[in-house]
Amino acid sequence: MRFPIFLLAAACAWAQPFDLVILGGRIVDGTGNPSFLGDVAVRGGKIIAVGKLPKEKSVRIIQANGLTVAPGFVDIHNHSDYTLVTDGDAQSMIRQGVTSMILGEGGSVAPVIDRQPWTDFTSYFALLKKQGIATNVGTYVGSSQIWTHVHGLKEGPPTKPELEAMQAEVSKAMEQGALGVASSLSGPPGAWIDTDTLVAMCTAAAPYGGIYSTHMRTEGFGVFESVAEALDIGRRAGVPVDIIHLKLAEKQLWGKMPELIGLIANARASGQQVEANVYPYRAGQNNLSSILPPWVHDGGPQALITRLKDPALRARLESEVLHGVPGSNWYNHYTATGSWEGMLLVNLSNPVYKKFEGRRMSEVITALNKPPVDALFELLIQNNASVPTVFFHHSEEDMRYALKQSFVSIGSDGSAVAVSGPLSVGNPHPRWYGTFPRVLGRYVRDEKVISMEEAVRKMTSANTAKVGMFDRGLLRPGQWADITLFDAAKVIDNATYDKPHQYATGINYVIVNGTVVLEEGRHTGARPGTILYGRGKAQ
């Protein structure tokens, strides 16, 4: 008598004891299909079986009655590049249920010449593996990083030899395991990179299976043209496109998200591979210096400060800060936000100004008792031209509409930090602590904007598929055992704009590569994370 292949496979899977069995949970498997009650077995860091399983054949059992069992969440847009070097525990991300983080935007950790204990992705990855990391990590190579590495921190088109050097750096990054090219074009140095140069960079990534992930040139006036540029780059370079945190960050454009979605949907209908991601908040984070036009940034921070101090430039600067640059595609964060009250200061490096962390720019202007632009210039001059700032510039309704679209996934745009220690400084965006639980608690359970199954898909397999990572993101035999268990009735974000350093609640267990990192809400200190190499990684 012949037995069906799947029964033989099951018999082989059960021949040896499991390392771990998760019993009796509601399984949301990452496909978007309806949930079901069942068990998950793990051995050797991978999922061995899903279904009704014998608990007596396991070294360890987690009773999951009343809990939802999902693939570990994959943060498709994360900025923990440097915080992981400080602390590999990734506390604020693990406590959201995140098991994998995709790093790199316009700026990435490599290539670099000095100032860091690494020079390229290979040495950066080696450092992370040596120190240990709680989550898995993959990264893009940043277009701005390539630009400044080859061309310098300045405007002007690259020469032919420079363009060839940029493509060579992209190829090197892809061979070292980068996932594609990412850009941040809303301010310098990204704003200086022309479309043709971006096409050249992405063309270099294409043979390695890379994608183009882009924080577009503008999310305010000109956003439709920015989407068109992203689509053009993808078509010309022959690479998939992922639009970072899709939004309409200009009050006069609020309500036009259906039109913007339509532009992307039309491209998809024509056969182009293009997707997007969002975070579940109506504020973004950039730098206070983004209020200054691109020409002011040419030459770096000290050149910027020199221009701010120049009386001969004062009238021009004030006009362009408050009213924008006519005929320019520069994305002015002041005009987009519409008020000084809509800016919340995150971190200031000068101890004299630390008292303004977590304060609105309008409050700072009052405290300094100066005209608004004078107060702006003082903050930038006294803090080395860099003041990370939260900008309240897009609408809840537009975000919800985008969230509902099948091709829009979830990414935090945050960093792994902690409520104590060196990573507890400043007043960061609450998304650093709350993105994924906020979707599950507010937009799934409380407001029913999307279903639980669809939300989990957007946090897992939708993101792994973007970067061609098909051995994670699903609860299926053969997949790596990245698993998150949460209480669907209690999961919620607690971080606020005024008090962001608060962990989410309702995430009970987080398992990375078969190892428990979060147990009953407590970080175990385990660091089983690995590097998620792109498909071009040289063997």
Local confidence pLDDT in tens for the 539 residues of the chain? 443 443 434 555 556 889 999 999 999 999 999 999 999 999 999 999 999 987 778 889 999 999 999 999 999 999 999 999 999 999 999 999 999 999 999 999 999 977 789 999 999 999 999 999 999 999 999 999 999 999 999 999 999 999 999 999 999 999 999 999 999 998 899 999 999 999 999 999 999 999 999 999 999 889 999 999 999 999 999 999 999 999 998 888 999 999 999 999 999 999 999 999 999 998 888 899 988 988 999 998 999 999 999 999 999 999 999 988 877 777 777 877 778 998 999 989 999 999 999 999 999 999 999 999 999 999 999 999 999 998 887 899 999 999 999 999 999 999 999 999 999 999 899 999 999 999 999 999 999 999 999 999 999 999 999 999 999 999 999 999 999 999 999 999 999 998 999 999 999 999 999 999 999 999 999 999 999 999 999 76
230 in the same domain as 308: no
Q: Which domain holds residue 349?
A: 286-392
- Strand partners of residue 43: 46
pTM of the model: 0.90
- Alpha-carbon distance of 493 to 472, in angstroms, equals 25
In terms of Cα–Cα distance, which of 492, 490, 477, 380 is closest to 433? Answer: 492
- Alpha-carbon distance of 252 to 398, in angstroms, equals 12
Tokens read off for 431: 């998304």
388 in the same domain as 412: no
Are the CB atoms for 230 and 216 separated by under 8 Å?
Answer: yes
260 in the same domain as 401: yes
Are the CB atoms for 394 and 253 separated by under 8 Å?
Answer: no
- The pLDDT score that the predictor gives to residue 331 is 78
299 in the same domain as 277: no
323 in the same domain as 192: no
Residue 157 lies in a domain: yes
CA 405 to chain centre: 18
382 in the same domain as 233: no
CATH number of residue 411's parent domain = 3.20.20.140
In sequence order, what E strands does 44-169 have?
46-51, 58-63, 68-71, 73-75, 98-103, 136-139, 141-142
Residues 6+ apart with CB under 8 A from 115: none
Are the CB atoms for 138 and 103 separated by under 8 Å?
Answer: yes
229 in the same domain as 98: yes
- The pLDDT score that the predictor gives to residue 5 is 41
Residue 312 lies in a domain: yes
Residue 479 lies in a domain: no
Residue 90 lies in a domain: yes
455 in the same domain as 362: no
312 in the same domain as 376: yes
Q: Letter for the amino acid at 285? A: Q
234 in the same domain as 110: yes
- The pLDDT score that the predictor gives to residue 185 is 95
270 in the same domain as 306: no
Q: Letter for the amino acid at 146? A: I
Residue 156: burial class (beta carbons within 10 Å; 0-12, 13-18, 19+): exposed
- Alpha-carbon distance of 163 to 126, in angstroms, equals 29
Domain count, the chain: 2
- The pLDDT score that the predictor gives to residue 15 is 67
Residue 501 lies in a domain: no
Residue 147 lies in a domain: yes
Residues 6+ apart with CB under 8 A from 272: 231, 234, 235, 241
Residue 368 lies in a domain: yes
Residue 335 lies in a domain: yes
Are the CB atoms for 173 and 124 separated by under 8 Å?
Answer: no
416 in the same domain as 331: no
